[in-house]
Amino acid sequence: MKPFFLGSEDIKRYVAQGRFVVAVYGLGGVGLAVAAVWLRHGARVIGVDVDRGKVDMIDDGEVPHPEGVVRDSVRAGLREGRFKATYDGVWASRNADIMDVIVPLVYGSEGPDFSALDSAVGNVAKGLSRGDVVIIETSLPPGTTEGRVREVLEGVSGLVAGEDFGLIYSPERVMVGHAVEDIEVRYPKIVSGIGARSLEVGEAIYSLMCRAGVVKVSSPRVAEFEKLAEGVYRDVNIALANELARLSRLLGVDFDEVIEAANSQPYSHIHRPGVGVGGLCIPVYPRLLEWVAESLGVRLELVSLARGVNDFQPMYISSLVAEGLSMLGSNIRGSRVALLGDAFRGDVGVTTLTPTHVIARSLMNMGAEVVVHDPYVKRDEYLSRAGARLSSDLRESLAGCEAVVVSTDHSIYKELSTCDILDMCSRSGVVIVDGKHVLRVERCGGRVLYTGSGRPWTRL
């Protein structure tokens, strides 16, 4: 019996008993975590990805994911014969009961790039059978599931969403590094569907896996908008923090102290400033909403301004390096600068839209020699093309540097003090721009000129 025609309790039982096959389209950081959760709750899983090298690697038990629970779950699935990876999306659809699509959607010069989504949905449609269930988890511009996705599924298969098969939109709400916990424990699952039956099926599936519960919304358009609104909220508030932090530094005020005092008021929730915003989520979601708004003849003024503030932040951080070196009587041209952290977020090895790239490019445009340290990133083609060196050796990266920028909040950097960095640089004086406020600030005999995002220059 196919899931779309089963009652809620039977759906849960069939998943737990391994009687359903789930095809997960997209084996990135989120997709692998989603596959692991399906496996942990009893389903048989086919993982689908266009990267044949990744498919072969996963089938050999090499699971490229930072979470141990994901690696262990997928490997257990391989041993037990409950998991297989493939690059044949049509075959996966023909052999699955539930198709879960979580491929990336990027924003390019011409707007959203739907190519990965179109390819995955097209393959699903070619293998779609009556009674199957299709779930879309990719973050999308409002209206995409009801329009673009539904049209392809129905047009290719000849079936009708909400009558012959289930079509559910349920956006992922995870952070790679603790994604399984986010799905199973931390956050409620937003669920919508085409027709009442799709919504019922979605509620049954996710009430089995998500202990924080299910939030049902009236349409996929609501769910799509909700997911983007979450990211835009953060982007706007980070931009506010970055602007206030710039002023705070000029006033000679530590913005961390301002935040702590202000947020003691329950209606204030000022975010932390930083070096910029990276990843495939927060920098992209405002662009997706702007794209939709423009198609309706509306301009999202605040959203656009906030994105501009955060886009500028890496250049602002670079300007602090030049300012600090000037205060020490040095010129940035010819100076050696170390950036601590290439990843866009701490303790992961992902460099997608990382602010570090912009900082590195800006510094090199000013004539600096740049070395980037990161313990998680083994290769970065962008840095190679730009002429910056990437290293996993901290001492080697810092040796001889006149300035250091902390651009990622990796845990290992939280163990460092300003004096530790001075010692490893082996210079008479060093400029430190602590963009993430993670270093232990210690006095170093006046040999360190220190600042942070929202902190005044201080001789330590």
The predicted-structure confidence for 71-107, as pLDDT tens digits, reads as follows 999 999 999 999 999 999 999 999 999 999 999 998 9
**Mean pLDDT estimate for the chain:** 96
Q: What pLDDT is stored for residue 108 in this prediction?
A: 86
C-alpha R_g of the chain = 24
Which H or E run contains 161? none
Sheet strands (E) in 55-108 = 83-86, 98-101, 106-108
Q: Give CA 102 to chain center in angstroms.
A: 13
Buried b (16+ CB within 10 A) or exposed e, 404-440: bbbbbbbebbeebbbbbbbebbebebbbbbbbbbbbe
DSSP conformation class of 182: I
pLDDT one-digit tens code per residue, 214-271: 999 999 999 999 999 999 999 999 999 999 999 999 999 999 999 999 999 999 999 9
pLDDT band at 109 (very low <50, low <70, confident <90, very high): confident
Q: What pLDDT is stored for residue 117 in this prediction?
A: 98
Cβ proximity of 86 and 58 under 8 Å: no
Q: What is the mean pLDDT of residues 290-304?
A: 96
pLDDT at 445 over 90: yes
Distances (CA, A) of 170 to 82, 181, 232: 24, 17, 18
Q: What pLDDT is stored for residue 439 in this prediction?
A: 97
Q: CB neighbours (10 Å) of residue 40?
A: 18
DSSP conformation class of 185: I
Q: What is the mean pLDDT of residues 336-361?
A: 96
User: Which structure tokens are listed for 204?
Assistant: 């049954």
Which pTM value belongs to this model? 0.92
Cβ proximity of 316 and 246 under 8 Å: yes
Q: What is the mean pLDDT of residues 305-328?
A: 97
210 is catalytic: no
Q: What pLDDT is stored for residue 412 in this prediction?
A: 97
DSSP conformation class of 4: G
User: Which structure tokens are listed for 21?
Assistant: 């096959």
Backbone angles phi, psi at 457, to 5 degrees: -60, 135
Q: Is 351 helix (H, G, I), strand (E, B) or coil?
A: coil
pLDDT at 1 over 90: no
DSSP string across 137-149:
-S---TTTIIIII
pLDDT one-digit tens code per residue, 135-161: 999 999 999 999 999 999 999 999 999
Q: What is the mean pLDDT of residues 306-327?
A: 97
**How far is it between the farthest Cα atoms of the chain?**
76
pLDDT one-digit tens code per residue, 7-23: 999 999 999 999 999 99
Cβ proximity of 403 and 337 under 8 Å: yes
Residue with tokens 């298969």: 157
Q: What is the mean pLDDT of residues 201-205?
A: 97
Which H or E run contains 176? none
pLDDT one-digit tens code per residue, 265-289: 999 999 999 999 999 899 999 999 9
Q: What is the mean pLDDT of residues 159-176?
A: 96
Q: Considering 281, 401, 425, 444, which one is annotated as catalytic? A: 281
Q: What percent of the chain has pLDDT over 70?
A: 100
Q: Domains in the chain, ordered, with CATH?
A: 3-218 (3.40.50.720), 306-459 (3.40.50.720)
Q: Is 359 helix (H, G, I), strand (E, B) or coil?
A: helix
Amino acid letter, residue 278: G
Q: What is the mean pLDDT of residues 341-362?
A: 95
Nearest residue to 413 via CA among 444, 389, 434 = 434
pLDDT at 27 over 90: yes
